[in-house]
Structure 1
Amino acid sequence: MTTDTTQTDTAQSAPVRFDTKIAVILRDDLETWQRLNVTAFLVSGLGSQAPEVIGEPYADADGTPYLPMFRQPVMVFEGSKEAVTAAHSRALSRALPRSLFTSDLFATGHDGDNRAAVRAVPGDQLDLVGLAVYGPRNAVDKVMKGARMHP
């Protein structure tokens, strides 16, 4: 007896359209190592406040377990300092879950110092170098308006 897996294979390989979006915007004047570091820090905060973004744990064919990751792609954008600041304002006005990274954090050495550096500056004066947001697709698209996909 043979089983026709065409329908199942097609359904599993069809692109999934998510109702939500995870997006990161980085300032376009960052060095490569900074872009990578900032992105990693920014997305690390989303899963703790929006657990629905986390998928199931992974395992390889040998049964070795791996940690779960986001269940959907992370879109990475870049823009000027003004674009990042505007995205921050729009994310705040929409009350979207967000994480931020300021230029001050490049000079700190641990989490406590990071929080103190952010706490020391009024929100409208933060020197933002990156922002991550999560929420309904259309709201996140509006937050990222004016930014371009990271090359």
Structure 2
Amino acid sequence: MRFDTKIAVLLRDDLLTWQRLNVTAFLVSGLGTAVPEVMGQPYVDADGAEYLPMFRQPVMVFQGGKELLAGAHGRALGRVTMSIFTTDLFATGHDAANREAVRAVRTADLDLAGIAVHGPRNLVDKIVKGAAMHP
């Protein structure tokens, strides 16, 4: 099935494996609340156990260098729904501290570890242009 929109995560290529997984989880966690139409229906197994809904479309995960990530961030600002994860957040311990760490840095100076974007397929493709699929 082909979707009109796309969800993409772009990670910095120098992150450790645990950081890539952690950043990806944090980045996509906000999309379901900000863009409810990306969510599918809850799951129920044959025994009636219920499970949370998940995205109704694939999440594409890319990687690139620090400069590529900064460029993608600039192309995405104000054009698509976006979440960010900065390297400062690896040193924080809770949600309020995360927001304080981001608020303390000007947009152009954010040291991005990753971004997640949702928007029209062709626009998201332009935003992540030059990034490689995550292995």
Indicate whether 1:34 and 2:8 are aligned. Answer: no
Paired position in structure 1 for 2:80: 96
Paired position in structure 2 for 1:122: 106
**Residue 124 of structure 2 aligns to which amino acid in structure 1?**
V
Q: What is the TM-score when the length of structure 2 is the normalising length? A: 0.99
Q: What is the TM-score when the length of structure 1 is the normalising length? A: 0.88
Return the match for 1:44 from 19, 24, 29.
29
Paired position in structure 2 for 1:71: 56
**How far apart are the structure 1 equivalents of 2:43 and 2:7?**
20
**Residue 41 of structure 1 aligns to which amino acid in structure 2?**
F
Paired position in structure 2 for 1:134: 118
Q: What is the number of residues matched between the two proteins?
A: 135
Indicate whether 1:21 and 2:37 are aligned. Answer: no
**Residue 123 of structure 1 aligns to which amino acid in structure 2?**
T
**How far apart are the structure 1 equivalents of 2:113 and 2:70?**
9
Where in structure 2 are there 5+ consecutive unaligned residues? none
SS at 1:101 equivalent:
strand
SS at 2:129 equivalent:
coil
C-alpha distance after superposition, 1:66-125 (max 9, x if no partner): 0000000000000000011011001015x2000000000000000000000000000000
SS at 2:77 equivalent:
helix
Indicate whether 1:59 and 2:41 are aligned. Answer: no
SS at 2:80 equivalent:
coil
C-alpha distance after superposition, 1:33-80 (max 9, x if no partner): 000000000000111110000000001110100000000000000000
Q: Identity percentage over the alignment?
A: 71
Indicate whether 1:81 and 2:66 are aligned. Answer: yes
CA-atom RMSD in angstroms = 0.6
**How far apart are the structure 2 equivalents of 1:122 and 1:91?**
16
